[in-house]
Structure 1
């Protein structure tokens, strides 16, 4: 009986391991960009693939986190993760050296030593249709209409091209932007999905422009994308009801509330303006009954309340972290067999005591 149990256990372990598929990093990056196209990100942001181990790099295990901290990195190493998708970019300002002097430099060193890639979506995910802000809006209550506070005016670009080189292998850094349509004896027919000049990007990857024939170009605007959300409620809700709904949605016990002038907990809300993270600069001036965001300064809150607008502050990352569960489902649907986990060490650094 013991031998049978041991044998069965080993069989199940092998079957579980074999069910985890390995995918090229470029394929995973392409899927991530499909969920939150990087061209939607703010110009000041640092999004995309931030740390890339030497090729080939195959991904079996992915960890999703809101912030990449030392604890999350240790958790990733123990979980044998090949890719960390961190909502906030752990590398934001330029690094002039990679040493052990700061915790962010140490993260980069640990990632490279353990062959862990790092990818960040940040404001691309904020702006995306079905992204972080839409997830946050879903916790307000029944919504009749929702639209971005600031619509995205950028366009995705691309096209179809023919490469006169049937044996060409595209560099890893271009795999996320190129889709092979057909291969013939004379060359490769492919689609370019990038948001930069195709000829320039190919030349930077040592693909000669003389071998590239551009057959068509494509430009399209992404609808319902942009920063923040303005939500018109299906039926008016009291401030008290929205506070209760948000606590449940964000899975927190406490929120910070500032009542607008002449408002009370039973005041009705018809329209909510929201922004995940720090939304003061975006929300200021929005015509709404209530602002919902992660953090605002004292004077920004005071300005809103004196104009009769109530404010709910949820703490910065609490307005973002719950979206990771949606992200796991969406990414899992595209990366069949890849193991995707959400960090258990990731948490907002602030708590009410």
Structure 2
């Protein structure tokens, strides 16, 4: 097994195409073709984590947060980031980060929080837009069914909760091949008219190269006419945060104590408690102040997130309870989830859960 094989499994879970533009995900250090001796999974890659990988003979670290976030102009060991990168390179250890790709995944960070809190009827809080594309192509009518089937098998034709979606229009296509052409139907130098079907199918943007490869291989024409457009539809299966509901309503105080226990946090900073039961809970792992309005718009009674600033709490405006449980605390179960996921995908290989607590925030 090489590093790229592990990346492929992680990409199936959380395609990097859906990571936020500001983020730095993917293989940050190392060679994708390097054979893997062991995998260490962590929330953050610190020097102690690299030491842990060395001690466990792991030459691939799968980290939730990226150790390299901004550009590095020097590698002198002056900062903890530089020291981590240097030590990893010196010991031939690759580092891969999944970060907001997993934040936006339907089974990712926020689903983990929902499951930890026992929330049901989960849905994406802030669905991503511009993640659905449409392919339109033109094929001889006699080949239309076969081409559609191949495109469907490659992952095209999915839209929300529906599969095998397409739109088809029959018409006539014309073409005239020059002396260098080699038409599959008709003769070069002669104008040809063919009964064709215009096929339109949607697909998820991370599948574009696969869809096009399938199109070119399955289409009978020497020159394939096609167009790809990006749809404005939001994607209900990809996006930041989630909202779900408790099995039974709780008072605000009981709910905060429940969250404190389930999320294993020592402290919850919160806005004014409202005199109404808590039933619908929105969650967003990590820094989530930008989700306050979305949570209110979906009538959430409470938002569980982290890194709220002083003035963010005023945004509750007695419409919602805001609960800041801590950044690390909101994401702490992610590495166990990734270990379980990779262990199921790679059954004959060592996938190790890091024992290093990387939380930089301490409580007195």
Instruction: Give the TM-score of the pair, scaled to structure 2.
Output: 0.69
After superposition, give the CA deviation of every residue in 1:39-61 in whole Å (9 maximum; x if it has no partner).
Answer: 121111111111123x7411131
User: 1:279 matched to which residue of 2?
Assistant: 288
User: 1:334 matched to which residue of 2?
Assistant: 345
Alignment of 1:293-304 (within 5 A): 293-304=305-316
- Distance, in Å, in 1 between the alignment partners of 2:132 and 2:35 is 28
Q: Structure 1 residues 223 and 335, CA, compared in 2 at 3 Å: closer, same or farther?
A: farther
Contact 2:119 2:244 in 1 (8 A): no
After superposition, give the CA deviation of every residue in 1:294-340 in whole Å (9 maximum; x if it has no partner).
Answer: 22001001221x33321211110110011211211111111121211
User: 1:32 matched to which residue of 2?
Assistant: 10
Shifted more, 249-258 versus 60-69: the winner is 249-258
Segments of 5+ residues of structure 1 without an aligned counterpart are 1-22, 160-177, 179-192, 203-211
Tell me the matched-pair count: 282
Q: Structure 1 residues 97 and 156, CA, compared in 2 at 3 Å: closer, same or farther?
A: farther
User: 1:86 matched to which residue of 2?
Assistant: 63
Instruction: Give the TM-score of the pair, scaled to structure 1.
Output: 0.71
Q: Structure 1 residues 194 and 293, CA, compared in 2 at 3 Å: closer, same or farther?
A: closer
Alignment of 1:115-130 (within 5 A): 115-130=92-107
Q: Structure 1 residues 81 and 155, CA, compared in 2 at 3 Å: closer, same or farther?
A: same
Is 2:74 the counterpart of 1:97? yes
User: 2:187 matched to which residue of 1?
Assistant: none
Shift of residue 137 of structure 1? 1.4
- Distance, in Å, in 2 between the alignment partners of 1:141 and 1:244 is 14
Is 2:38 the counterpart of 1:61? yes
After superposition, give the CA deviation of every residue in 1:5-63 in whole Å (9 maximum; x if it has no partner).
Answer: xxxxxxxxxxxxxxxxxx1111111011111111121111111111123x741113111
Shifted more, 241-250 versus 333-342: the winner is 241-250
User: 1:49 matched to which residue of 2?
Assistant: 27
- Distance, in Å, in 2 between the alignment partners of 1:156 and 1:71 is 41
Segments of 5+ residues of structure 2 without an aligned counterpart are 136-153, 155-203, 220-225
After superposition, give the CA deviation of every residue in 1:57-94 in whole Å (9 maximum; x if it has no partner).
Answer: 11131111111112222222222211111111111111
After superposition, give the CA deviation of every residue in 1:194-224 in whole Å (9 maximum; x if it has no partner).
Answer: 938749xx9xxxxxxxxx9554699999652
User: 2:334 matched to which residue of 1?
Assistant: 323
Q: Structure 1 residues 154 and 77, CA, compared in 2 at 3 Å: closer, same or farther?
A: farther
- Distance, in Å, in 2 between the alignment partners of 1:340 and 1:30 is 15
Contact 1:49 1:117 in 2 (8 A): yes
Shift of residue 238 of structure 1? 2.1
Report the secondary structure of 1:149's partner residue: strand
User: 1:290 matched to which residue of 2?
Assistant: 302
- Work out which of the residue numbers 229, 237, 252 in structure 1 matches 2:250: 237
- Distance, in Å, in 1 between the alignment partners of 2:295 and 2:354 is 35
- Distance, in Å, in 2 between the alignment partners of 1:79 and 1:342 is 11
- Distance, in Å, in 2 between the alignment partners of 1:335 and 1:158 is 34
Shift of residue 278 of structure 1? 0.6
Greater CA radius of gyration, 1 or 2?
Answer: 2
Shift of residue 283 of structure 1? 2.2
Contact 2:42 2:64 in 1 (8 A): yes
Q: Structure 1 residues 238 and 336, CA, compared in 2 at 3 Å: closer, same or farther?
A: same
- Distance, in Å, in 2 between the alignment partners of 1:82 and 1:314 is 33
Contact 1:148 1:224 in 2 (8 A): yes
Shifted more, 28-37 versus 69-78: the winner is 69-78
Report the secondary structure of 2:74's partner residue: coil
After superposition, give the CA deviation of every residue in 1:137-156 in whole Å (9 maximum; x if it has no partner).
Answer: 1233442x221121123447
Q: Which runs of 4+ in 1 moved over 6 A?
A: 156-159, 216-222
Report the secondary structure of 2:89's partner residue: helix
Q: Structure 1 residues 274 and 109, CA, compared in 2 at 3 Å: closer, same or farther?
A: same
